[in-house]
Amino acid sequence: MTALPEPVTVEEVAAEVTYDLRRAVLRPDGGEITWAGDEDPATFHLAACTSDGVVGVVRFSPAPCRWRPEARAPWQLRGMATEPSMRGAGVGRTLVIDGLARVAARGGDLVWCDARGTAAGFYERMGFAVVTEPFDKPGIGPHVGMLIEVSST
């Protein structure tokens, strides 16, 4: 992994701070960049920032997990995106580690996501496991269900 060129800080931010990267990275062909739950008070949004501005974003929100209905306090990870010129430098890792700690601090016991097939290897590096067969999201492409258990603090 390439070392981060400069300090990256992670901050909880308002949903709209994440929209530019969502648009550029996750919806380059158009498509909705504001999603149900963005403004839910339980949802939190993280931004990784350098002196150049926001270089990575992600969202965590409480949501039932269809693969682990017995989970006591499941959360969904969504909207994970790193600015292209900063990829492979640890921005995504910093955001996920920080987010998992914040979920644990809020009493969550599991985090799940619909992972793009191209990003599944990243989530595996973060400790997530694939729990589904591949499935398609129209207009976006192949995905797999992934999850990680977290310990409440």
Residues 8-37 within binding reach of ligand COA (CB under 6 A)? 25-26
CB of 121 vs ligand COA, minimal distance in Å: 3
Out of 8, 46, 47, 91, point to the residue binding ligand COA (CB under 6 A): 91
- The whole-angstrom separation of Cα 148 and Cα 8 is 24
**Binding region for ligand COA (CB under 6 A) out of 37-45, 65-73, 78-86, 127-135:** 78-86
SS3 of residue 25 by DSSP: helix
Torsion region of 135: left, alpha or beta (phi above 0 gives left; psi -120 to 50 gives alpha): beta
- The whole-angstrom separation of Cα 132 and Cα 146 is 7
Residue 48 vs 150, nearer CB to ligand COA = 48
Out of 17, 116, 131, 149, point to the residue binding ligand COA (CB under 6 A): 116
Out of 60, 112, 122, 128, point to the residue binding ligand COA (CB under 6 A): 122
SS3 of residue 26 by DSSP: helix
Q: How big is the chain, counted in residues?
A: 153
Q: Give 93's contacts (C-beta < 8 A, 6+ positions apart).
A: 125, 126
**Binding region for ligand COA (CB under 6 A) out of 9-17, 68-76, 90-98, 130-138:** 90-98
Out of 15, 18, 60, 92, point to the residue binding ligand COA (CB under 6 A): 92
- The whole-angstrom separation of Cα 12 and Cα 67 is 28
Q: Total binding residues for ligand COA by CB under 6 A?
A: 21
Q: What stretch of H or E contains 103?
A: helix 91-105
User: Would you tell me which residues interact with ligand COA (CB under 6 A)?
Assistant: 1, 25-26, 56, 80-82, 87-93, 115-116, 118-119, 121-122, 125
